Amino acid sequence: TTSYTRIGGLARDLPEGWIDQCRQFLNEVEKNFDETETLLTRNRIFVDRTQGVGVLPKEVAINYGITGPNLRGSGVDHDLRKTNPYLIYDSLDFDVPVGTAGDSYDRYLVRMEEMRQSTRLIRQCLDRLPGGPVSLEDGKSFLPPKNKVLSSMEELIHQFMLVTQGVQVPEGEVYFGAENPKGELGFYIHSTGGGTPHRMKIRAPSFVNLSVLPYLLKGEMMSDTVAILGSIDFVMGESDR
């Protein structure tokens, strides 16, 4: 979950046997990919209801600020893991699927291939997963282990200061965007120093992607609304402002 990763590392180490279970899960998921593609990709009814429906030209996608699979489905080869690599993405081998027509069917095809590329990435990460500590041994930026808190006054003070005041960061501002399943998830943070941001703006991809809906629905049949909405693949919690 999102609470597992935090400033300075991870909340805890992986459970015993987790890596093997993850590999087994990937095997099962890949079987589901094959079943889904057999069921839908060449299904005449599915193709007729999605091909040529909700067409999003690349110029319109760029002007609206669309990102992620919706942008790549329109033929724009843009993926932050390739164009602005972070973490270890620059050392991983994966392809970026790109569509041509920009319709609901192409957005479906892009997402199907993205799931396959995701399992490919996960397997590479599992093969490279190192041993050793999973967090910084620095009480000023990461909560110390409970056994040390109970036996060391210094560690107890570090925990108290971290919980009450947070991680102390310098003055300045930064924007960082990461590739999310829905598109670019970005955070702009302005700091005046201290443990809380002075200003923060979250760029949620679903909110941006959903803004193009009036354009996609124009001239389409009412019954095509469901297919178009599904192809945008938005999360309402991100979009509700």
In terms of residue numbers, what domain contains 117? Answer: 16-239
How would residue 70 be classed by pLDDT, with cut points 50, 70 and 90? very high
- 8 belongs to a structural domain: no
Asked whether residue 41 is assigned to any structural domain, the reply reads yes
Residue 3 lies in a domain: no
DSSP alpha helices (H): ranges in 77-232? 80-83, 104-128, 146-149, 153-165, 205-210, 213-217, 225-232
Mean pLDDT within 76-98: 97
Between CA 105 and CA 42 the distance in angstroms is: 11
Residue 6 bridge partners (DSSP): 9
State the DSSP code for 203. E
Q: What is the pLDDT of residues 136-161, one digit of tens each?
A: 887 678 888 888 888 889 889 888 98
**6 assigned to some structural domain:** no
Domain annotation covers residue 156:
yes
* DSSP symbols for 146-157: HHHHTT-HHHHH
CATH no. for residue 167? 1.10.645.10
User: Cα 22–24–30 angle (5° rounding)?
Assistant: 100
Q: Are the C-beta atoms of 143 and 33 separated by less than 8 Å? A: no
Q: 167: which DSSP letter?
A: -
**171-189 burial string, b = 16+ CB within 10 Å, else e?**
eeeeeebebbebbbbbeeb
Query: Is residue 76 one of the residues assigned to a domain?
Result: yes
Q: Do residues 107 and 99 touch, judged by C-beta distance below 8 A?
A: yes
**pTM score, two decimals?**
0.88
Q: What is the pLDDT of residue 71?
A: 98
Whole-angstrom Cα distance, residue 89 to residue 178?
11
pLDDT at 241 over 80: no
Please state, as a whole number, how many other Cβ atoms lie within 10 Å of the Cβ of residue 163.
Answer: 9
CA distance 47 to 53: 10
For residue 180, give the nearest of 63, 86, 102, 98 by alpha carbon: 86
Do residues 103 and 51 touch, judged by C-beta distance below 8 A? yes
Which of 209, 239, 230 has the alpha carbon at shortest distance from 65?
209
Mean pLDDT of 230-238: 90
The rounded Cα 207 to chain-centroid distance in angstroms is 14
Number of domains within the chain: 1
Question: Residue 206: inside a domain, yes or no?
Answer: yes
> Helical H runs in 41-103?
44-50, 58-64, 69-72, 80-83
What pLDDT, in 10s, does the model give residues 158-216? 889 888 888 889 999 999 999 999 999 999 999 999 889 999 999 999 999 999 999 99
Beta-carbon contacts of 21 under 8 Å, excluding residues fewer than 6 positions away, are none
Within a domain: 2: no
Do residues 205 and 182 touch, judged by C-beta distance below 8 A?
A: yes
